[in-house]
Amino acid sequence: MKICIIGLGYIGLPTATMFATHGVDVVGVDVNKNVLNKLQNGSIHIEEPGLQEIFQLAIHNKKLTISNTPEKADAFIIAVPTPFLHDDYGEYQGKKYKKADMSYVVSATESILPFLEPGNLVILESTSPPRTTIDLIKPILERSGLKVGTDLFLAYSPERVLPGKILTELKENARVIGGINSESAEKGRDLYSRFVKGEIVLTDATTAEMVKLMENTYRDVNIAIANEFSRLSDRFGIDVWEAIKIANLHPRVNILNPGPGVGGHCISVDPWFLVETAPDITPLIRTARDVNDSQPDFVVDLVKRIIGEPKGQRIAALGLTYKPDVDDVRESPAVEIVKILIERGFTLRLFDPYVKSLKSFEDYLMGNLEDTVIGADLILVLVDHSEFKSLDPGSLIGFRNKKILDTRHCLDIRKWHQAGFEVIFLGNSI
């Protein structure tokens, strides 16, 4: 069995490695020269626990090869990104909405055309708007002269893994495989069952696309309501964290955590794929996106209420990634908050143990925590990295004001009080 995986990013690389360590010959293909260089030299370009070791094993055993072009194989998996377009918006009733950039999916699909042979299976893994497999991928594949459904088999199978836990979740999570016909879905099941231990559920391609989008949209909408609760609690002078804890004692209530906003390449992007394809019937999904996207403004407003309008105050911002213990800053609300604070005229120093350099913030980024907090009027915790949660405030010196704003509710308040700090949480009236 030989497969070709197009796209060696956060999903393609772990998936390629998994297949390669489960008896399949894998050709991993990417177009990015830096990525190829790194991988061909034996090291991975993403931070993911455990991946480096099994990647090296797969390369060493010659089960995984890295290339810049596809080759003939039994199956092809497309795992390229589907970000949104940054300069092309749709509009519905005077409001702009974001649109998916399908160009990587299109060029990846076109790149396999010369290598397709009768009996091949093609799987799209990239998160995509509903009907992409049928309306976009199928016609491209048919340009090969092969008939999709009889000569070629086609399915959509979304990844559903959590960054930071990818290797375990790839194996253990339930996997949905949506075929354009039942034979395609069954061939998909035969392929993924080589390493998937979770339940494999077969359905049609459009249902599988919807399942993926519904999961992330469900989460986005639920985080939006938690964020709105944080604003209400702030207004009414109560602690949102205590209120949520008590509300969640109800057997049918499970409110998520408010925070500085929603980031990452999934939850903050995918709901737009539904709004884009059906703007007239998705007001709730759209509003949730707007609420989460405006949460950074709420944080900036809170900062101003704590230290006043900018006139030379210094802020030590801790954390830039979109969530804890990863190095990913895509769509990160922390980055957005820092950007707004700098624009407004505050003086910032930044530190993130996972981010050693970041375009446009180079002058602000510090190499260690100690230098970051010197002269600070406010410590602003934007990400709940383990390193910050376990921080001993007694080890830090040189503040101008001992104030800390925790947007993640992750600090041990007792320790910080003992060290003489005023601790403020997002969603806890000041």
Residues designated as active site: 212, 266
Considering only 125, 159, 234, 377, the residue that binds ligand SAJ (CB under 6 A) is: 159
**Alpha helix positions (H), 193-269:** 205-236, 240-247
CA distances in angstroms from 167 to 23, 84, 195, 310, listed in the order given:
17, 26, 11, 45
Pick the piece of the chain touching ligand SAJ (CB under 6 A) from 52-60, 81-89, 155-163, 369-377.
155-163
Considering only 98, 323, 403, 409, the residue that binds ligand SAJ (CB under 6 A) is: 323
Verify binding: residue 291, ligand SAJ, rule CB under 6 A. Answer: no
Question: Least Å distance between CB 171 and ligand SAJ?
Answer: 14
Q: Which residue is nearest to ligand SAJ (CB)?
A: 266
Verify binding: residue 79, ligand SAJ, rule CB under 6 A. Answer: no
Nearer to ligand SAJ, 352 or 377 (CB): 352
CA distances in angstroms from 307 to 188, 393, 404, 405, 424, listed in the order given:
57, 20, 11, 11, 12
Considering only 81, 129, 179, 259, the residue that binds ligand SAJ (CB under 6 A) is: 259
Verify binding: residue 263, ligand SAJ, rule CB under 6 A. Answer: yes
CA distances in angstroms from 217 to 44, 86, 211, listed in the order given:
30, 20, 10
Question: Least Å distance between CB 107 and ligand SAJ?
Answer: 21
Interface positions, 175-204, toward ligand SAJ (CB under 6 A): none
Nearer to ligand SAJ, 285 or 307 (CB): 285
Considering only 215, 239, 293, 422, the residue that binds ligand SAJ (CB under 6 A) is: 215
Pick the piece of the chain touching ligand SAJ (CB under 6 A) from 95-103, 143-151, 256-264, 299-307.
256-264
Considering only 98, 160, 385, 403, the residue that binds ligand SAJ (CB under 6 A) is: 160
Pick the piece of the chain touching ligand SAJ (CB under 6 A) from 61-69, 85-93, 153-161, 200-208.
153-161
Nearer to ligand SAJ, 148 or 226 (CB): 226
E strand or H helix at 348, and its extent? Answer: strand 347-351
Question: Least Å distance between CB 258 and ligand SAJ?
Answer: 7
* Number of residues that this document lists for the chain: 430
Considering only 7, 129, 264, 393, the residue that binds ligand SAJ (CB under 6 A) is: 264
Q: How far is CA 274 from the centre of its chain?
A: 17
Return left, alpha or beta for 261; rule: phi > 0 is left, psi -120 to 50 is alpha, else beta. Answer: left
Q: Let me know how many helices (H) and strands (E) the chain has, helices first.
A: 17, 15
Pick the piece of the chain touching ligand SAJ (CB under 6 A) from 23-31, 79-87, 148-156, 255-263.
255-263
Return the closest-CA partner of residue 292 out of 270, 307, 276, 315: 270
Nearer to ligand SAJ, 153 or 229 (CB): 229
Using CB under 6 A as the binding criterion, the count of chain residues that bind ligand SAJ stands at 20
Return left, alpha or beta for 230; rule: phi > 0 is left, psi -120 to 50 is alpha, else beta. Answer: alpha
Which residue bears the tokens 């376990």? 390
Dihedral pair phi/psi, residue 315, rounded to 5°: -120, 130
Measured CA to CA, the distance from residue 148 to residue 93 in angstroms comes to 39
Question: Least Å distance between CB 104 and ligand SAJ?
Answer: 15
Verify binding: residue 322, ligand SAJ, rule CB under 6 A. Answer: yes
User: Letter for the amino acid at 399?
Assistant: F
In the sheet where 378-381 sits, what is the strand order?
347-351, 314-318, 378-381, 403-406, 422-425
Question: Least Å distance between CB 379 and ligand SAJ?
Answer: 19
Question: Least Å distance between CB 219 and ligand SAJ?
Answer: 4
Considering only 223, 307, 315, 337, the residue that binds ligand SAJ (CB under 6 A) is: 223
Measured CA to CA, the distance from residue 229 to residue 242 in angstroms comes to 12
Return the closest-CA partner of residue 161 out of 169, 150, 153: 169
Verify binding: residue 121, ligand SAJ, rule CB under 6 A. Answer: no
Q: Given the DSSP bridges, would you call strands 84-92 and 121-124 parallel, antiparallel or unpaired?
A: unpaired
Measured CA to CA, the distance from residue 32 to residue 314 in angstroms comes to 39
Residues in the site for ligand SAJ, rule: CB under 6 A?
A: 127, 159-163, 215-216, 219, 223, 256-257, 259, 262-264, 266-267, 322-323
